[in-house]
Amino acid sequence: MSQSKELLQNKKKYMNWADHTLQWVLYLSVVIIPLIFLPYLNSVFTFPKIYVFRILTIIVIGIWGARMLFYKKVDYRFTKFIWKSSAYAIICGLNTIYTVNLWTSLFGTYGRFTGLLTILNLIFWMYILINELNTREKIIKLLWYSVVTAFVVALYGILQYWGGFVWRLYLDARCDCENVQYSGA
């Protein structure tokens, strides 16, 4: 009997840990993704942001899936928006199957990366946000983190405009490329 009580207590501890970790990863993503940049890339939505977003999506789906396995039930809410987004994902999947250029359909083009992989990431992310941030307090907390991060990023941009905190990229003197922005590729 005491063994089942211990197992139940461990399960509750894990569930609390999983719930809190999942919420904090969602909150942290609103802070981390806008602040990640590399000064020598000219596009806002490039490698660092997309890779961090994909890694965070995998972490969130892993925690969410493990929690569902522990609860032994699938907890979800389907809204009209999720149904429409799922239909869009199915259309994109069919487009990828019948495409001429599979690589571009899967990963997108440089600078946009709006291939099937990114679309699925965004839809999974939206699905988990809708299902996890289901109280007013959680939504307000996410919005508060988003506004504070936007303020920090905007302040940094204003300081850069006036010449402060500008990262300089010193290219190798041996680079004889005409278009310097692609010399790191």
Per-residue pLDDT tens digits for 9-29? 776 777 778 888 888 999 999
Residue 148 CB contacts under 8 Å (≥ 6 apart), including other chains: 31
Residue-wise pLDDT for 131-171, tens only, equals 888 889 999 999 999 999 999 988 888 887 787 766 654 44
Mapping DSSP to helix (H, G, I), strand (E, B) and coil, where does residue 65 land?
helix
* Region for 111 from its dihedrals, namely left if φ exceeds 0, alpha if ψ lies in -120 to 50, beta otherwise: left
Q: Give me the amino acid identity at 154.
A: A
Mapping DSSP to helix (H, G, I), strand (E, B) and coil, where does residue 13 land?
helix
